[in-house]
Structure 1
Amino acid sequence: MKQILFIILFFTISFQSLSQELNCRISINRSQIQGSNEELFRAMQKDLYEFMNNRVWTNNVFSNNERIECQIQINLSKYNGIDKFTGNISVQSTRPIFNTNYKSTLFNYKEDKDFDFYYTEGQSLEFNENTHLSNLTSVLAFYAYIIIGLDYDSFGLNSGTVYFDKAKQIMNNAQSDPDNNWKAFGTSNQNNRFYLIEHITSSENAPLRKFYYRYHRLGLDVMSDKPELGRGQVANACQFLKQVYNRKADSYFLRIILTAKTDEIVKIFSEAPVQEKKKVYNILKEIDPTNPKVDKIMKTGQN
């Protein structure tokens, strides 16, 4: 009987260790908070790390080397001395490129301002995707599903849909929370969690999800073996950006993609043949005209 229990326990632990999807670094910046308890913030960082990395977010099995690399930084600006915190949150995720040591940025989001939450040392961080239990865990889970959804989209066309739907459900559940970042009217411009998930899932922005797949799976993943073919697919993927820009020049999702990808695109095409350079340069110059980095494409590399 003990042997059977041991075998069951062994396989349960092994399955859980293979199922966790994220390898998420957590950074807490408390430099603006005077006279704070260092132990409290160490405990907060540890608890947030365990919440993101020990939880199983999908039904799929991940080995350790398949876990999604990501980072969450919380810059705290206020603490009431008891349990309430205010700050900004930044989220970044990357994706490995096939047959290389290179990691490509998928998401680089720094627009989550005035993030309010409650935390006390030793509390249990509870989350239920069907109800809003706390702003802290809802925000963390929201970004976990955004990260996973974008990663899945980069490997299979529209494969992240189920995870974006979960993020949207979290947003809907949080409408009663005082945090205005969950609401359509929460900010003077459309830069919050509500608009982030609304724009990702909008049919108007469907070509941007095609961009993620073509750019990464058909483009970057091919470049180590067939650089010309892979680069050509990256150039073709940029047409999806232009397609959305022509429909809706102020697309929030488009701007988020440009923040994450422009430097990389410039680097790829700085060494490309002149015709490819011009093709991509013209697209980027049209959709991101005030970005001086775009001009580097035509100033370096082949002529």
Structure 2
Amino acid sequence: MIKKIVLILLLLGFGKLHAQELNARVTLLAPQVSNISKPTLDALQKTIRDFLNNNKFSNESYKPQERIDCSFVITINSWDGGSGYMAEAQIQSSRPVFNSSYNSTLLNMSDKNFDFSFNDGATIDFSDQNYISNISALLTYYAYTIIGMDKDSFSKMAGTPFYKKAQNIINLAQASGNTGWRAADGLRNRFWFNENVLNPIFAELRNFIYSYHLSGLDQLTDNDKGLMQIVAALPALQQMDKQKLGSIFPNVYFAAKAEEVTNVLSKLNGQERMKAYNMLAEIDPANIGKYEGLKKN
């Protein structure tokens, strides 16, 4: 009987270990900071990685192969010798394409205000109801955003509950005085990215993310139907407010996807490629140079 109880506890522990949502790789760099030691950097890197990979950010259980691949490259620009770090970060996430070994990028976002305080040897505590520290808020915000983007790629608007969780983190963090949490902190920050993904103005872009991935990329290995589904989804994006195309959400998304979209749609015939090019040039003029490949034979 005791052996059975121990076995059950072990199985429960194993299940919990693999229930988390993220499979995060974390890299900490400090190329211009001479007063920070490698052991200190390595310890902080591990603490951040453990926070992202060991906390549960939803009530859903993920199998090991279902965890979302993501990466955080954090560059420390200065350190006060104590607990204060001035940093920036590049956050990326991807999802697998069905029946292939290819992973498609969903998020590739640069955060120039990734500043935080952290005492050597401490842990980073998690809470979605209280502001604990800026490093906790930053990591939690991006965890919810990554999960939201992933959900949107599998089911229409399914990321909304996670974007709202990220919005709550923003509200909690605004009183901290740290940069990036408020509308007044600039147009390309955490506040505005979250505002965009929850704004009905960008609903067509979120629906495109679903159509592009689930109805498009995931079908490419079987037939050409996936290609035509992607082309069919493009006209809806033309209905977006042209004045909003420079906003952070479409800007970040298309910057991450333009090259991939060009490579995928290059399989179309000449007439369909030009049709796709004309639509993409109107929808995303910032990356028109990347779409030029669609005009080639």
* Structure 1 match to 2:48: 48
Displacement of 1:38:
1.2
* Structure 1 match to 2:95: 95
Displacement of 1:44:
0.3
SS in 2 for 1:158: coil
| 1:249-292 deviations in Å (ceiling 9; x for gaps) | 33321111111110011101223112221121011211333431
* Structure 2 match to 1:114: 113
| 1:213-265 deviations in Å (ceiling 9; x for gaps) | 10100111011102x21001111222333222446333321111111110011
The 5 A counterparts of 1:145-184 are 145-184=144-183
* Structure 1 match to 2:271: 275
Residue type at the aligned position of 1:83 = S
Cα distance 1:164–1:102, how it changes in 2: closer, same or farther (>3 A)? same
Contact 1:210 1:240 in 2 (8 A): no
Contact 1:16 1:56 in 2 (8 A): no
Contact 1:76 1:87 in 2 (8 A): yes
Structure-2 separation of matches of 1:245 and 1:239: 13
Displacement of 1:122:
1.5
157-166 or 284-293, which deviates more: 284-293
* Structure 2 match to 1:13: 13
Query: Normalising to structure 2: TM-score of the pair?
Result: 0.95
* Structure 2 match to 1:237: 233
* Structure 2 match to 1:142: 141
List runs of 5+ in structure 2 lacking aligned partners: none
SS in 2 for 1:86: strand
Aligned: 1:222 with 2:219: yes
Aligned: 1:62 with 2:62: yes
Which of 198, 202, 205 is the aligned partner of 1:205?
202
| 1:184-233 deviations in Å (ceiling 9; x for gaps) | 1012xx1000001010111111111101110100111011102x210011
Percent identical among aligned pairs is 35
Structure-2 separation of matches of 1:245 and 1:104: 27
SS in 2 for 1:34: coil
Query: Normalising to structure 1: TM-score of the pair?
Result: 0.94
List runs of 5+ in structure 1 lacking aligned partners: none
* Structure 1 match to 2:105: 105
The 5 A counterparts of 1:70-89 are 70-89=70-89
| 1:144-196 deviations in Å (ceiling 9; x for gaps) | 11101110110111111111111111011111112120001012xx1000001
SS in 1 for 2:153: helix
Contact 1:29 1:76 in 2 (8 A): yes
* Structure 1 match to 2:126: 127
Contact 2:24 2:70 in 1 (8 A): yes
Residue type at the aligned position of 1:276 = E
Displacement of 1:4:
4.9
